[in-house]
Structure 1
Amino acid sequence: MRAYAWLIMLILLAACAQAPATASMPSVAPPQATSSLVTAAPGTIACTSVRQPAPTLQGTPPYLRPDDHSEGLADAPVVLVMYGDYQDPSSAAMNALLARLRQAYPEAVRRVFRPLPLINQYDKALLAAQAAEAAARQGAFWPFHDRLLAEQAQWRNLSEADFHAYRQGLARQVGLDVARFAQDLDAPDLQVALLAAREEAQRIGLPGVPLLYLNGEFYPGPWDWNSLSTLVRLQALSARQFSQCPPRLSNLTAPRFAALHTEAGDIVLQLYPDQAPMAVSSFVFLARQGWYNENTFFEVRPGLWARTGDPSETGLGHPGYTFVREIAPDLTFDRPGRVGLYNDGPPNNGSQFFITLTAAPQFNARYTLFGQVIKGLDLLKTLPPRTPGEPDAPPGLRIRSVDVTDP
């Protein structure tokens, strides 16, 4: 939990859904996340590093085994290891969620399944696990495994004889050599390996199933789609984050204009480096690094603002550093089109920014104001409401690229 405590804490704070009622997971309180002050090198802004290092997955990670059933890229930033039982309803629900994550984020997620048959609780726990292992010997573990769990309600109450017929039929449907499948089911080493895995789980004290590990560390939940997809997006974003403070631009040479090239047209900003030098320096640095490319306006509150600048589109993403607010007395949110840096606390300016759709005096002294829209504000005023994580949210207006213009 140490390396990912900050991610889990954010999700626990933001999640609305609770873990499934059928799950029997222990409650684990994540420790507080930590951050470190980065000493500003000459010519850089002063910032605090909050970067979560991306895992280095060159070769086989130490928490994976040679005989693991694994699906996904070897260098995927998120490796989800699940312990489960084929006859357990909670295991079926979790497997469906992990399969959905793999499909939604094919370049970010690698999933691993380790069978833990509860032979004292379910009458077909070992029989089902043997069938999946027999399918694996023909290179068809995942299609057989996913079907077996997805169709659990069809077979979990069958007699042993009827279950034998079911798994033979499933083998045929996924394209296995049924005769070889039947032969492999009776292979002595197959059952021995499954029982050995169960004994190992008991020896190391695994409390039950399903259990989920993220990059080798226990993940206690929440186990809903929004929470796990948020976790995946944030962990994938960590590979892009920066560990150093961005260069501080001179007021004389800092760009004064920026163009957000969206899929619907350009939004042109006038920047205020004199009043908000750190904010403009960070924005220009991120724009030149391509951080804002393909971002969407992931949150839209009609009559208030449109927010963007988070490639994860969760509302929780950041560039790996934060810096303090800059409040200029002569700049106020007194009109539409003001450009401000979003923060969730005074020292937490990052990459996210918003554009006001009306005067918003309540933002004065709360957010750093660093620019003004001088063209294209009408594009934002027509956007429908949008909230991060909303299942049926309309597509967000996408920023294709950002150009900054020197004075």
Structure 2
Amino acid sequence: MSTLKPEVSSKDHIEGSDAASITIVEYGDYQCPHCAHAYPIIKEIEQTFGDQIRFVFRHFPLQESHEFAFQAALAAEAAALQDKFWEMHDAIYDNQYRLSEDLFQELAETIGLDIEQFEKDIQTDAVKQKVEDDFESGVRSGVNGTPSFYVNETKFDGGPEDLFEMLKESAE
């Protein structure tokens, strides 16, 4: 059974309460159609279970198959430096069908980032390193495709619908 390495920490992007009884970690790729399919289901899980859920997103860009995946992850990390990680995360998935080189700056403007700062940050080693660290942690955790989910640090075998179903059953 694969477990999450390293554990969730302050370096992660976390939505939800620290007191949540369930932590879901997703390793995702912003250009992956399966991740785009999972995205609204994760939102629904968060709405349904509220404070019981803490959601963490880690980057796992599959660069061989998705030419904009790494760039999208960099854009999300650059937005994070202006405290807008989740806004960029959501905007990228909402616009996945039109991913391109030019899209990230447009989204940065849409979510109200300081564009000059964003353009500087997206090129820094620190931003690149964060994406590479997430990817590396995915490899160490046994991720073999996206999206991959970990529930309370244990790999969940199944898609987002299965995850939702399992959470509903355990809540009953």
Same fold by TM (over 0.5)?
Answer: yes
Q: Which residue of 1 aligns with 2:37?
A: 93
Q: How many positions carry a matched residue from both structures?
A: 168
**Alignment-derived partner of residue 78 in structure 1:** 22
Distance (Å, rounded) in 1 between the aligned partners of 2:10 and 2:37: 26
Deviates more, 1:174-183 or 1:187-196: 187-196
Normalised by the length of structure 1, the TM-score is 0.39
5+ residue gaps, structure 1, are 2-61, 238-311, 313-407
Q: Give the root-mean-square deviation of aligned CA atoms.
A: 1.9
Q: 1:126 to 1:74 in 2, by over 3 A?
A: same
Q: Please, which runs of 5 or more residues in structure 2 have no aligned partner?
A: none
Q: Which residue does the alignment assign to 1:111?
A: 55
CA radius of gyration, larger in: 1
Give the alignment partner of residue 232 of structure 1, picking from 163, 167, 171: 167
Q: How does 1:31-42 map to 2 (within 5 A)?
A: none
SS in 2 for 1:98: helix
Match for residue 73 of structure 2 among 107, 129, 144: 129
SS in 1 for 2:50: coil
Contact persistence 1:109–1:232 (CA under 8 A): no
C-alpha separation in 2, matches of 1:199 and 1:179: 29
- Alignment check: 8 A CA contact 1:87 1:122 kept: yes
Give the secondary structure class of the aligned counterpart of 2:160. coil
- Which segment drifts farther, 204-213 or 142-151? 204-213
Check if 1:198 corresponds to 2:111: no
What aligned pairs does 1:154-193 form with structure 2 within 5 A after superposition? Answer: 154-155=98-99, 158=100, 163=101, 165-193=102-130
* Shift in Å, 1:105: 2.0
Larger fraction in helix: 2
User: Following the alignment from structure 2 to structure 1, what is the Cα–Cα distance between the partners of residues 164 and 146?
Assistant: 21
Higher relative contact order (CA 8 A, sep 6+): 2
For residue 63 of structure 1, report the CA deviation from its aligned partner: 2.6
TM-score normalized by structure 2? 0.87
2:164 maps to a residue whose letter is S
Structure 1 residues 203 and 79, CA gap change in structure 2 (3 angstroms): closer
- TM-fit CA distance, 1:203: 4.6
For residue 77 of structure 1, report the CA deviation from its aligned partner. 1.5
User: Is the contact between residue 70 and residue 112 of structure 1 (CA under 8 Å) also seen in structure 2?
Assistant: yes
